[in-house]
Amino acid sequence: MLYLSKINKGIRLLANRYVFFFLFLSSSLTIVAQPYYFRHYRAEDGLSNNTATSVVQDQKGFMWIGTKDGLNRFDGYNFKVFRNNPTDSLSLGNNSVLKLSIGHDDKIWVGTERGIYLFDTKKESFTRLIDTPMDWVRHIAQDQYGNIWFIIGTQLYCYNISNKKTTHFKNNNLQFCSALEITQSGQIWIGTGNGFIGHFNTEKNTCTMYAVFEHSPIPLSKWIECIYNSDDGALLIGTTSQGAKKFDINTHTYQDLFTYNEYKTEIYVRDILRASDNQIWYATENGIYIYNTKTNQYTHLLKNNNDPYSISDNAVYSFWKDKENGIWVGSYFGGISYYPKSNPLFEKFIPGANTMSIHGNAVREITSDNQGYIWIGTEDAGLNKFDSRKGIFKNFMPNGSSTQISYSNIHGLLADNDKLWIGTFEHGLDIMDLKTEKIIRHYNSGEKNTDLHSNYINSL
């Protein structure tokens, strides 16, 4: 049994990361800072492949992850991988897993590039759903009766859990299906590849279609990638070339939520998740957009190669919120990124070249002056001054001038009124005037009474 507290162990004392916060105003975006922290699970941790297309959690707490190389079960410590075995007819028929769905009986429906399978978690055996094509499975959903609805290729099917029969719906409006969603009230909504969403009436076998591109800019494509029931009388729609849209179920009208990113290129939305009452997450080909429903602001999370706590990849494919309200993020190149619900107690500052980042990886000394500034000595990038009120760093490095620090490897700091004493590794002692931020005195080793016994300063 998986206890997610095992996954969270230790991270409450780890740090957040800075990302960019966007306010959508017409076609412009305003940037503000916001901290987030992720843990990663990749191939080197036991995941069978770094392309994680789908994530679900079963009733026992196990996480199930679909990849390009099999189905993975994660118990908080280890991964168990289920793949195709040509000599075993009860193994997974195709290793490229695209979609996952948990059945009412805790069995797992597995959609692959070559058909749909039912996985018995107790027997650890797979059964292909007969009378269905061995083709690309785009979506799987379950209605209130336990029946399984799915799209294979661009066709809609339903597996009746009672009579074990599969129905292929051949309505003219259902010949180009691309997305599927079933609301809590049991309504079935279909997205198409030519820009419509449809309400499917199971009793009449009819589908009423509504255009969701008609008053939008001319798109490169009208493909609808996903539909998400936002529980407020609206459907959120993810598209491949016009970002996200919102469709009002009652008025049958729609609005574009966000279409372009900060580079003025179209946003590709692959998945949508309501993470909390005030947050909706959008998985895109350019990171994660988090919409705050109270402030109408967007947070844009991107991979940062210098930040080990950022999301692991910008090509985000899937979301899942677990029983502890942590969020699992599947990506194309970076495996899984996990965001815990609990907020870490510490904020982490990642080295970088801008004023919002600390300079240096090896922090040796930290002290504060009487003005409230934090001074940080590193062993690889000199001295940092941090203004905690503004979140801004200033870096000091030697440049050959007598008014600058003498060495980049700092081993001791001591703030004394308006002076800062700076001890270095094998380069003596500097004294900085905190008002001018200039070195006003330097001491080296020598034979005079005023000289140091050694240029190596261990601490102050």
In CATH terms, 363-443 corresponds, of 1.10.15.40, 2.40.10.340, 3.60.15.10, 2.40.10.480, to 2.40.10.480
Q: Is the pTM of this model over 0.85?
A: no
pLDDT at 295 over 70: yes
Q: Three-state SS for 7?
A: helix
User: Please, what is the average pLDDT of the chain?
Assistant: 90
CA torsion 355→361→362→363, rounded to 10°? 30
> In CATH terms, is domain 4-169+268-339 a member of 1.20.272.10?
no
Query: How far is the C-alpha of 62 from the C-alpha of 187, rounded, in Å?
Result: 29
**In the chain, domain spans:** 4-169+268-339, 363-443
Contacts of 188-192 with CB under 8 Å at 24 or more apart are 188/143, 188/149, 189/227, 189/229, 189/235, 190/156, 191/224, 191/225, 191/226, 191/227, 191/237, 192/224
Task: Identify the pLDDT of residue 53.
Answer: 98
Query: How far is the C-alpha of 3 from the C-alpha of 350, rounded, in Å?
Result: 30
pLDDT at 14 over 80: no
Task: Identify the pLDDT of residue 191.
Answer: 98
Query: How far is the C-alpha of 402 from the C-alpha of 389, rounded, in Å?
Result: 30
- The model's pLDDT over 127-139, given as tens digits with 9 standing for 90+, comes to 999 999 999 999 9
pLDDT at 298 over 80: yes
Task: Identify the pLDDT of residue 33.
Answer: 44
Beta strands across the sheet bearing 234-239:
224-229, 234-239, 244-248, 254-258
- The model's pLDDT over 379-437, given as tens digits with 9 standing for 90+, comes to 999 999 999 999 899 999 999 999 999 999 999 999 999 999 999 999 999 999 999 99
